[in-house]
A and B are shown apart, each in its own frame.
Chain A
Amino acid sequence: MSPAASPYGPRAETGPPGLAAKLLGFCEELRSEGVAVGTSEILDAFAALDQVSWESREGFREALATTIAKSQEDRRLFELLFERWFFRAAEAEAIEREIGETEQRHEGAERLDIDELREQIRQAIVDGDEGQMRDLARLAIAAFGRQGEGSGVVGVDVQRIRRTLELSAGAQPQPADGAAELPPIDRDQLNRFERHLRRELERDLIERTETLPPSRPLAELDRALPTSPTQDLAAVHRAVSQMKRRLATLGHEQRGRRKAQTVDVRRTMRASLETGGVPMHLRYRPKRPRRPEIYVLCDVSTSVTSASVFFLSVLHALHDSFRKLRSFVFIERISEVTEIFEHERDFREIARRISSEGGVADVSGYTDYGRVWLEFLTEISDDLDPRSTVIVLGDARTNGREPHAEVFAQVAERAGRLFWLNPEPRLYWNYGDSVMAAYERHCDGAFECWTTRHLENFVNVVAGGVPAAD
């Protein structure tokens, strides 16, 4: 490893044969899952691999990760794909060369004492010894799965083995005979052991069938959909904080510029150098844009149940970012919930209070958009001005009631900007009782929005960028 050679030189080819191709294949796989891997990053990865010892799996992975995965989300995908890709690559190679280890690998399983095995596994988990865990996982599979008697479904077998081993996270049941106290098992550590179990089971399966199961793209669900509010709240918050920057500097920069400006003495003096120290041109301090006022209207009826958790988390994030934000929820009537968001931090508590105190459902529990616009307009029409932005989160399904698009048009006219985020795919708009078309033409923009990716897309478009390809 001579440091004098160029780090981007042709040395990538001097690694084990085929590695470069494998690595490129891996990057291709990452790209297909939406991680932006540039050529320069791949070159960096090769340069980094030159510097670490390849015997350590950790070092190899970290060196790749630090050069290729450039955000937390990317890192998460990286981990998932890394496991899968290199595991598959090794297995494919093994099948090709007809290397199997079914004969030797379960040797000695019959002689195993279960209690002893349990002790060893527990110790390995507590120590976090990866190699040990892997070996023990094999033994455990051999001892309990008894080769082929498993259910055939990897996930089921993992749990079955875990239960037989009496492994669970948290404090351990103490042995009755007063032997040494068992240390508690960390949730993460247990997960790690389960991962080994899973991988070994998969390996068994592959060896039995001598084919690789088809590689599936990671489910969209696995990516970004915040169905559980606390889980991906952070992602929503990130998208919203970008939105904040966009909205704050958009639309009204040019208004009232010349009035009441302050001279920037330092920059004026510097400019005066061009004229020999005589300040001919005045330089002004840049004017800070005024804070935007935002009104968010959120549908919480049953037709959008699945999306309303997402919408509420968007609202929650908006409240964190904007001072002048007023939020409303509606079903049949509209109700202001700004105060709940301002006083309550805990997301679950907010959701509970909105459903109990909102008072938005009358009799039927079906959304009445027409009535909502009328009420909204009477309630806050005086406050709406060209500086305000209105964002509606809803599916535009009126349940056959009068949509009152003309009232909506009035709202749109008074507000500076009006955006509509619809939790349904564009394909379903205007089908059935959806009257999206009637509203859409009054909006400055209507977007489908049910994942954080859509939310980011919305932010991009608002900022004048191009919509990201889906």
Chain B
Amino acid sequence: MAEAQAPASVAETKQALAAASYLADESAALVSFLAQRLGKPVLVEGPAGVGKTELAKALSRASGRELIRLQCYEGLDEAKALYEWNYRKQLLRIQAGGESGWEDVHGDIFSEEFLLERPLMQAIASPEPVVLLIDEIDKTDQEFEAMLLELLSDFQITIPELGKVSATSMPIVVLTSNNSRELTEALKRRCLYLWLDYPEMEREMEIVRLHTPDLPEALARRLVEVVRMVRALDLKKPPSIAETIDWARTLLLMGAEDIDRETFEQSMSIIVKHRTDIDLVAERVGMKLAAPTQAG
């Protein structure tokens, strides 16, 4: 198994992630580090929009590996995730090879040439080490999880007609879950577990500053404060980190100098996206902000 360059320390991992514009906290950096050293998959859970998917992308950028992504949904099956026989091509082969005997054809149509590789297979078969992102694993059913077990513990896939396909390089596997259902114990046991939550005030400040360096610091602080205020309400969908960044960019475009009630109400739809939430936020947060200055 070709060993990819693993980082030497947690601090190094953290730096590499920061260079890929992802500010990881201690536990995220440590888990990323362990994942690369121990070669174990990582299960990332947390509320929507705290950067679970982004972590996988950043790992791919930081380690220079290609990112292969499998987006899960209800009803996802092996044919879409692992591999599928290209039956059209197989039919053609059967018809075109009229002369040759059955033995030839039989051996032929179940070879790699007729295999359609889906993301999981791609990740295993890739000659270069990759980052495999299995996104929103909680959306699939338990049968699918069971199918993943072989892949996650041994990094191999068994195809009845071909035999075992083992990974040539150790992929970094990241699974994300929004916790919409409990995952099976068997799956959890094979993974390192990372719980990501909304970042603390200071770290969110750093994140905003990293993505919108032009935004004045005072305004950025105010913005993060307001976002945290909004998150403290019981909303259908609290604003994510990505939305905080979007909002920061919007304020920059609007040329806002302070977040007063008017600016807030104009741009609030960027962080709050449900009818009922909007009312609630306007009432609870909007009122707390200063009215726009009348002068000038």
CB distance from B108 to the nearest CB of A (A): 13
The B210-236 residues at the A interface (CB cut-off 8 A) are 234, 236
Cβ of A245 under 8 Å from chain B: yes
Cβ of A242 under 8 Å from chain B: yes
Instruction: Output the nearest chain B residue to A37 by Cβ-Cβ distance.
Output: B189
**Of A61-69, A220-228, A305-313, A440-448, the one with at least 4 CB within 8 A of chain B:** A61-69
**Partner pick for B189 among A40, A186, A242, A276, CB 8 A cutoff:** A40
Chain B interface mostly: helix
Contact A52 B191 (CB under 8 A): no
Mark each residue of chain B from 183 to 220: 1 if its CB lies under 8 Å from any CB of chain A, else 0: 00100110111110000110000000000000000000
Q: What is the CA–CA distance of A245 and B142 in the complex, to the nearest angstrom?
A: 11
Give the residues in chain A near B188, CB-CB below 8 Å: 70-71
Q: What is the CA–CA distance of A80 and B87 in the complex, to the nearest angstrom?
A: 56
CB distance from B96 to the nearest CB of A (A): 12
A345 and B236 in contact (CB under 8 A), knowing A241-B181, A273-B90? yes
Q: Please give me the 8 A-B residue pairs with the lowest Cβ-Cβ distance, nearest first.
A: A70-B188, A70-B193, A62-B30, A66-B192, A51-B37, A62-B27, A270-B87, A66-B31
The A68-87 residues at the B interface (CB cut-off 8 A) are 69-72, 75
Instruction: Output the nearest chain A residue to B179 by Cβ-Cβ distance.
Output: A238
Q: What is the CA–CA distance of A242 and B33 in the complex, to the nearest angstrom?
A: 33
**Partner pick for A230 among B180, B192, B234, B236, CB 8 A cutoff:** B234
Cβ of A346 under 8 Å from chain B: yes
Contact B193 A52 (CB under 8 A): no
The A1-55 residues at the B interface (CB cut-off 8 A) are 3, 7, 36, 38, 40-41, 44, 47-48, 51-53
Cβ of B40 under 8 Å from chain A: yes
Contact A67 B192 (CB under 8 A): yes
Cβ of B123 under 8 Å from chain A: no
Contact A70 B34 (CB under 8 A): no
CB distance from A202 to the nearest CB of B (A): 26
Cβ of B45 under 8 Å from chain A: yes
Give the residues in chain B near A66, CB-CB below 8 Å: 27, 30-31, 34, 192-194
B interface residues with partner A (beta carbon < 8 Å): 9-10, 26-27, 30-31, 33-34, 37-38, 40, 43, 45, 85, 87, 90-91, 94-95, 179-182, 185, 188-189, 191-195, 200-201, 234, 236, 276, 280
Q: What is the CA–CA distance of A44 and B188 in the complex, to the nearest angstrom?
A: 12
A interface residues with partner B (beta carbon < 8 Å): 3, 7, 36, 38, 40-41, 44, 47-48, 51-53, 58-59, 62-63, 65-67, 69-72, 75, 186, 188, 230, 238, 241-242, 245, 266, 269-270, 273, 276-277, 345-347
Contact B87 A269 (CB under 8 A): yes
CB distance from B243 to the nearest CB of A (A): 19
Contact A70 B182 (CB under 8 A): no
Contact B38 A7 (CB under 8 A): yes
Give the residues in chain B near A266, CB-CB below 8 Å: 87
CB distance from A386 to the nearest CB of B (A): 25
Listed by A's residue number, 9 A-B pairs whose Cβ atoms lie within 8 Å are A36-B185, A38-B189, A51-B34, A62-B26, A66-B34, A72-B45, A230-B234, A345-B236, A345-B280
Of B95, B188, B193, most A-chain CB atoms within 10 Å: B193
A59 and B10 in contact (CB under 8 A), knowing A7-B38, A44-B38, A75-B195? yes
CB distance from A2 to the nearest CB of B (A): 13
Contact A48 B85 (CB under 8 A): no
Contact B234 A58 (CB under 8 A): no
Contact B189 A41 (CB under 8 A): yes
Contact A44 B193 (CB under 8 A): no
**Partner pick for B85 among A44, A59, A70, A270, CB 8 A cutoff:** A270
CB distance from A330 to the nearest CB of B (A): 27
Give the residues in chain B near A44, CB-CB below 8 Å: 38, 40, 192
